[in-house]
Structure 1
Amino acid sequence: MDIDSLVERINELARKHKSVGLTEEEKAERAELREVYLQNIRKNFRQQLDSIEIVDE
């Protein structure tokens, strides 16, 4: 699942949660999707940190 569709589904579940509430299955799906999203953010951040090169003058 690409990041755009992941965020879209998370937002869809958030809107539904505000309007009518979520079933237990949807709550589990939301938690799983959030974890996948956070893992992606952490991985990208780690890659950015790893690519930083410190140069002393």
Structure 2
Amino acid sequence: MIDQKMIDRINELARKSREGQLTDDEKKEQQELRQKYIEAYRESMKAQLNSIVLVDEHGNRTKLKPKKPNIPHS
């Protein structure tokens, strides 16, 4: 889970990066923090999508189903 402290650190590293002042260790840390942030965002989005319920005109409730991957025909 991403907390405010991690977001603040991501922003701090982004500012230093724009100024061209990141060390190699800070670049590595920045990439790791970005990856954690992206993973947390994706999990949050999945949870939101999994909670969606469609209601038709008759009041029937249906959970949103995952889209099937497109498989190219040979």
Q: TM-score normalised by the shorter chain: which range applies?
A: 0.7 to 0.9
Post-superposition offset of 1:33: 0.1
After superposition, the CA RMSD in angstroms is: 1.4
Aligned to 1:11: 11
More helix by share: 1
Q: Which has the higher contact order (CA 8 A, sep 6+)?
A: 1
Larger Rg: 2
Count of residue pairs the alignment pairs up:
57
Specify the code of the residue in structure 2 equivalent to 1:9. R
Give me the TM-score of the superposition, normalised by structure 1: 0.87
Counterpart mapping for 1:1-57 below 5 A: 2-57=2-57
Between the aligned residues of both structures, percent identity stands at 46
Q: Which one is further off, 16-25 or 3-12? A: 16-25
Q: Deviations over 1:17-48 (max 9, x none)?
A: 12242111110100000000011110111000
Q: Which runs of 5+ in 2 are unaligned?
A: 58-74
Give me the TM-score of the superposition, normalised by structure 2: 0.69
**3-state secondary structure, aligned to 2:21:** coil
Distance (whole Å) between structure 2 residues aligned to residue 38 and residue 20 of structure 1? 24
More strand by share: 2
